[in-house]
Chain A
Amino acid sequence: MVLLGEIVEGGSLNIIGMGQSSSKGVLKGDIVDFHAASDCAHAAILSAEDQAGVKIDGVYLAVSGSDVNGFPSEASVNVTPAEGRVSQEDIDQVSDLAKGRDLPEERVVIHHLRRPYRLDSRSVEKPLNLEGERLEASYWTVHGNARKIGDAIHIINGFNLHVDDVILSALAAGSVVASEEEKQRGCLVIDIGRGSTDYAAYQGGRCVLAGSFPLGGDHISNDLSIGLRMRLNQAESLKHRYGSAIVEHKDKGEKVWLNNDFEIGDRPIRLWSIEKIIELRMTEIFEVISKKLGSLGRGERLGGGVILCGGGASLRNCEQSAEGVFGVPARVGDNGTMATGELRESQYSVALGLLKYGLEYQSKLETTESNAPGLFGKLKGLFQ
């Protein structure tokens, strides 16, 4: 999916084009068929460009999938004793130390998510000029497989387009669907995609932990196809028509038609079975996230609740399923702060988030390079 945005003077953003094509050549968030994936990305980019009537300047790419992982990295320094106050150099030094941790081979850093600084074991947001002796910095480092991310960038480069930055899709989505208040109180953004699910946990207004794992909507369809003995596309269609993340129909006798076309081969399917298969899978996806979050996933640290987005969020009752696992209210994300109409739906959250991210990035450039001409940068978010 491609959204094309235009930054107009004054730093606001207009969405001027949209292109979508159903993803191919991608399994569990990884590119398995370069040509198929390339073709469908190209189709989406072209249709967005056609719609907007402009050429794309730069691309912000959302990544996710099996190989995106995270770990905490920490460092501490003694505050320069001469003053006893934290100087900018101290902060720079400790940040560099924390970020400098070596990654295993073939891994590249996607994000360093800064957690609050700690000054003499107190948590402080801005340590500059505060009195103290020891300053600690902590980052959550999100990293991915260099080869796999390289593949994705290569596809974009294949159309003579430059990838400005790579962003974890849950982070992009989180910047759109979670309100400041929710981030402040602690919330969890979950982006359930076709082949992978991403999560970003917010505490005190900033993202402190994020990750991804290769389970998603495809797994639901696959489960249905195995459990109810049908083709994958039939399972996919059943999921869209009757899917529910919790069992609604307790009566095991209630049935629906598989194809609903009254042709030979159509057969009745138990609604209970459909719902039970999906319920088990969705619950498990949330349980995996809950385990990966550790103490951050506990109810008392998620005052802002759980926000779901991505295609998986359009599954009926997925909020209840998440509530059951996390024990806090859950809602489906809404892009109302950024968009109207169709774009408010949760599957556009990631692409919108990318544009927002790009906007902030560009305006930062603008302020640092003071003589930048009135910027009419055109950005594009692409999400696989």
Chain B
Amino acid sequence: MSELNAVSDEIRPIRMKVIGVGGAGSNIVDRLMLSNLSDVRLTAINTDQQALANSPVMDKHCIGKTVTRGLGAGGDSEVGREAALADKQLLEEMVKDVDLLFLTAGLGGGTGTGVTPVLADIAVQKGATVIVFVTLPFTIERAARSNAAKAGLDKLREVANAVIPLPNDLLIQESEPDASLLEAFSQADAWIEKAIKSIRSMMNKTGLINLDFSQLQQVFANRSSKTLFGLGEGSGENATDAAIADLKLCPLLHTPEFSKKADHLLVNLVGGTSLGISETQRIMDSITDAFGKDANVVIGAVIDESMGDRVEICVIGTSGSSDVSIFRGRRRMKVPSPNSVELETPEVPKKAPKKSKKTHAKSQKAEQHEFSFNEGEPRGEFENTEGTMFEGQDLDTPTFLRRGVRIPV
């Protein structure tokens, strides 16, 4: 009997779950609710009962009632932490038997900042791969808030497999000048939603190149200090080129919070039926070229008929790997899938002959894109001079790069 169980355990589908923590985190879960993802379970938790009551999510829990009496953490992350510890059993129950756990939260307040690290730690111990998406407060918000957010971020990086921070400042820069705050926030939610959906489709849909869970685990095997995360989308005749261009301009790749190159890279491609294997290879070449080091690059390509002529690229990478493996838990899935192909970083093709075949305009374009992805922050003319350090920043690096302002070319 037990043997049978073991077998069935191996072929069961990947169990994915999204838990939204606190107000901002729950908003994203609410949003995912609308997209009807049958294979992803959605949960919202909060310390504020009233806020939770408004959420359409079925599976919602108010935690730490003994600490906060259901009235929220009052912006104090310590209260949030205590609330989470008070309901530790409930949290353990929540993440039990989850393979891939996404946590979403807004850092800076009480619940998101306090509860998320505790929950991430529990989930990792239970054997789940934990990917955390967090929004960071505006720099104009009071300093206490951004300090709390920074502390929370550091804690999360210690425990979770990957932490992907989205600074709110960036959202404002990205949105139209007259956009309301709400619209800006919903932009963050949209990014997170896309990322979660992309990873989900990687796991579940039939693909040109299938990815399985163990490969995903490899990418996130080590706790890492910095992540790289970007999304690109293109449509029309040259959908793939447009998607690559869009990805490279993705503002998330230009913030100081993200690393420019990754040790481990996960690339997923979702396209319509027209997406061919040669086209896929081309995309992968240019992406590994831009973001990967000599890294392990794991590639997935998925056909989704509903995409039409659109192509979506999602890149997630981790760097600064430590030797400490994060898998302390009991379960580690090792299911070598016969129809999956893992591509090691392809030899970087020699650029010169490639270019000569292209038209003048095209080669110039390619050059432009490659330019901004130099190792480290580019310093141009001042490359060989001593850095102009001021308050921990090298002022020789262009201001717009350090502040993560996206400059359309």
Contact = CB atoms under 8 A, between A and B. Distances in A.
Interface of A: 27-28, 32, 66, 213-215, 218-219, 221-223, 225-229, 232, 250, 252, 264-265, 269-270, 272-273, 276-277, 280-281, 283-284, 288, 291
A229 B371 contact: yes
Contacts of B408: 252, 270, 272-273
A320 to B, nearest CB: 17
Contacts of B236: none
B360 A222 contact: no
B396 interface: yes
B209 to A, nearest CB: 32
Interface in B331-374: 360, 364, 367-368, 371-372
A28 B407 contact: no
B250 interface: no
Closest 4 CB pairs of A and B: A223-B398, A280-B399, A222-B380, A229-B368
Contacts of B379: 222
9 contacts: A27-B385, A28-B385, A219-B395, A219-B396, A226-B378, A226-B401, A228-B409, A229-B371, A250-B177
Interface string B103-121: 0000000000000000000
- Range, interface on chain B: 20 to 34
A158 B383 CA distance: 30
Contacts of A291: 391
B378, B381, B390, B401 interface centre (most CB from chain A within 10 Å): B381
Interface of B: 177, 360, 364, 367-368, 371-372, 378-382, 385-386, 388, 390-391, 395-396, 398-401, 403, 405, 407-409
Contacts, number: 83
Given A270-B408, A273-B409, 9 more contacts: A27-B381, A32-B385, A213-B388, A215-B395, A223-B380, A252-B408, A276-B400, A277-B399, A280-B403
A281 B371 contact: no
A228 B395 CA distance: 18
B69 to A, nearest CB: 45
| Chain A binding surface SS class | helix
Nearest to B374: A226
Contacts of B367: 229
Contacts of A215: 388, 395
Contacts of A226: 371-372, 378, 380, 398, 401
A284 B382 contact: no
A110 B301 CA distance: 65
B368 A227 contact: no
A232 B380 CA distance: 9
B380 to A, nearest CB: 4
A232 B381 contact: yes
A227 B372 CA distance: 8
Contacts of B368: 229
Contact of B407 (A66, A227, A250, A265): A227
A280 B407 CA distance: 11
A68 to B, nearest CB: 13
A238 to B, nearest CB: 13
B380 A288 contact: no
A64 to B, nearest CB: 14
Contacts of A225: 380-381
Contacts of B382: 27-28, 219, 222
Contacts of A27: 381-382, 385
Contacts of B409: 227-229, 269-270, 273
Given A225-B380, A277-B400, A277-B407, A288 B372 contact: no
A231 to B, nearest CB: 11
A284 B409 CA distance: 22
A213, A229, A232, A288 interface centre (most CB from chain B within 10 Å): A229
A28 B383 CA distance: 12
Nearest to B381: A222
Contacts of A277: 398-400, 407
Contacts of B407: 227-228, 273, 276-277
Nearest to A265: B364
Contacts of A218: 381
